[in-house]
Amino acid sequence: MALRNPKLSNPSADLWFDPTALAVPLPFTFGNSGIGLMDGPGRHSLDAGLTKSFYVTEARYLQFRWEMFNAPNHVNLSNPTTNINLATTGKIFSAGAARQMQFGLKFIF
């Protein structure tokens, strides 16, 4: 049940929304909170890759690849705990993967 707007002006992983703005409804009753009352953190992801082919003959070549996932290494927070009346309500404890790079070398014949 929503007592007031739970959105914070400057949310962080320590407190994404105000848990005191929400209350558990009485037993056997519905609350007044609608769907989509709060938004979780956004996701910012930029993947990039470079490929270079070195031809040995017309049909055979060596391909070198360098791929990056989450290239700017932006922190992508997970969703906060939304269970009411827990000490961890409104807190975020995990995040997406950090920047990952991989190299590949393939001979096509």
pTM: 0.75
In tens digits, what is the pLDDT along the chain, a chain of 109 residues?
A: 888 889 999 999 999 999 999 988 899 998 888 888 888 999 999 999 999 999 999 999 999 999 999 999 999 999 999 888 899 999 999 999 999 999 999 999 9
DSSP letters, 16-81, are SB-GGGB-PPPTT---S--TTSS---------EEEEEEEESSSS-EEEEEEEEESTT----B-PPP
